């Protein structure tokens, strides 16, 4: 093992360990993901973001959840990744394209000289079951499920990773009780992120997300994006309008294009500290 530099960063409290693995002469030791993310015995994080060389772009982001599972995409993570590129790898252009397992995504530095706020094109919202992925037939919206001894109605949306959005008046106990069951529901072959959303107005949504792979988090960028998509598609919100999505860690601004071809997310990223760890 050798000492490898890392950076701890967060987007609205959704925190990550970032490691540049481009020049490594061996695969990343996956058995270290869970110990490193442990908040008592490790660095502590919701996940690890590896900086890898891209195939067509300069950089690729690979995401491991705190339970060791691989994630296709992470909205808060990609903002932290963009901040890392700017601060540590000298990327100073206003726009950079980052490869992810959900496809290439465009990141805009709102101010490259002081990169604390980012606008990300999260790409297309997927509304077909096969693309989410979600079992069954027909429209993935207005899907009835049984969970916690209740009949619930939710909406399936793909943002490169799967989401199931429920609108209502939710307590934290609802999230803790229903989240784990819905996350691994048979409808979702790859499990799913679960969004508990409460409409405050057409332009404002309160949201708590039970994330696949790490449970309740302070914020979830893909979850906020998927929830805004669901609000637009159900007529609760309008397309091409800024929607404030309030999460436990703060607020993201989401804009959904009318044809769902692009979903834009704006929010902050912050470096917490730097260090080195034996890997």
Reported as a pLDDT band with limits 50, 70 and 90, residue 114 is low
> Looking at the structure, do residues 252 and 183 belong to the same domain, yes or no?
yes
Query: Could you list the active site residues?
Result: 74, 220
> Looking at the structure, do residues 58 and 80 belong to the same domain, yes or no?
yes
Instruction: Return d(Cα 218, Cα 205) in angstroms, integer.
Output: 15
> Looking at the structure, do residues 84 and 171 belong to the same domain, yes or no?
no
Q: How far is CA 158 from the centre of its chain?
A: 12
pLDDT over 70, % of the chain? 99
Q: Please give the backbone phi and psi of residue 36, each rounded to the nearest 5 degrees, phi first.
A: -65, -35
Note the pLDDT of residue 115.
63
- Judge contact between 278 and 2, C-beta under 8 A: yes
Reported as a pLDDT band with limits 50, 70 and 90, residue 113 is low
- Judge contact between 188 and 194, C-beta under 8 A: no
Q: pLDDT, tens digit, for every residue of 201-243?
A: 999 999 999 999 999 999 999 999 999 999 999 999 999 999 9
DSSP assignment letter at 46: S
Count up the domains in the chain and report the number.
Answer: 2
Is residue 222 classed as helix, strand or coil in its secondary structure? helix
Which residue in 103, 100, 73 sits closest to 224, CA to CA?
73
> Looking at the structure, do residues 257 and 134 belong to the same domain, yes or no?
yes
> Looking at the structure, do residues 168 and 93 belong to the same domain, yes or no?
no
Residue 197, domain extent: 129-261
> Looking at the structure, do residues 216 and 175 belong to the same domain, yes or no?
yes
Burial per residue of 170-181, b for 16 or more beta-carbon CB atoms within 10 angstroms, e otherwise: beeebbeebbee
* Pairing verdict, β 243-247 and 204-211: parallel
> Looking at the structure, do residues 249 and 150 belong to the same domain, yes or no?
yes
Which residue in 9, 172, 178, 161 sits closest to 82, CA to CA?
9
> Looking at the structure, do residues 95 and 211 belong to the same domain, yes or no?
no
253 strand-pairing partners: 244, 266
Q: pLDDT, tens digit, for every residue of 141-199?
A: 999 999 999 999 999 999 999 999 999 999 999 999 999 999 999 999 999 999 999 99
Round the average pLDDT of the chain to a whole number and report it. Answer: 96
> Looking at the structure, do residues 228 and 175 belong to the same domain, yes or no?
yes
> Looking at the structure, do residues 142 and 30 belong to the same domain, yes or no?
no
Q: pLDDT, tens digit, for every residue of 79-109?
A: 999 999 999 999 988 889 999 999 999 998 8
244 vs 118: which has the higher pLDDT = 244
Through-space distance between the first and last CA atoms of the chain, rounded to whole angstroms: 5
- Judge contact between 61 and 50, C-beta under 8 A: yes
> Looking at the structure, do residues 9 and 92 belong to the same domain, yes or no?
yes
Q: What is the CATH number of the domain that holds 148?
A: 3.10.310.10
> Looking at the structure, do residues 24 and 112 belong to the same domain, yes or no?
yes
């Amino acid at each position: 093992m050798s000492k490898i530099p890392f950076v701890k960063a967060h987007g609205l409290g959704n925190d990550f360990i970032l490691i540049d693995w481009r020049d490594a002469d061996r695969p990343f030791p996956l058995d270290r993901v869970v110990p490193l993310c442990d908040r008592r015995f490790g660095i502590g994080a919701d996940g690890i973001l590896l900086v890898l060389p891209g195939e067509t772009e300069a950089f690729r982001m690979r995401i491991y959840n705190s339970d060791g599972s691989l994630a296709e995409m992470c909205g808060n993570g990609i903002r932290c990744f963009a901040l890392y590129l700017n601060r540590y790898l000298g990327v100073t252009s206003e726009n950079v394209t980052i490869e992810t397992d959900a496809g290439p995504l465009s990141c805009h530095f709102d101010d490259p000289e002081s990169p604390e706020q980012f606008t990300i094109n999260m790409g297309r919202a997927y509304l077909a079951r096969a693309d989410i992925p979600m079992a069954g037939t027909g429209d993935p919206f207005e899907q009835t499920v049984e969970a916690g001894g209740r009949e619930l109605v939710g909406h399936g949306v793909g943002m490169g990773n799967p989401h199931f959005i429920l609108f209502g008046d939710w307590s934290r106990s609802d999230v803790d009780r229903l989240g784990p069951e819905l996350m691994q529901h048979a409808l979702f072959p790859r499990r799913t992120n679960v969004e508990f959303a409460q409409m405050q107005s057409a332009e404002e949504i309160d949201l708590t997300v039970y994330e696949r792979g790490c449970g309740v988090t302070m914020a979830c960028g893909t979850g906020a994006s998927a929830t805004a998509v669901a609000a637009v598609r159900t007529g609760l919100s309008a397309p091409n309008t800024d929607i404030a999505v309030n999460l436990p860690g703060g607020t993201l601004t989401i804009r959904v294009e009318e044809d769902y071809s692009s979903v834009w997310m704006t929010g902050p990223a912050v470096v917490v500290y730097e260090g080195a760890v034996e890997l």
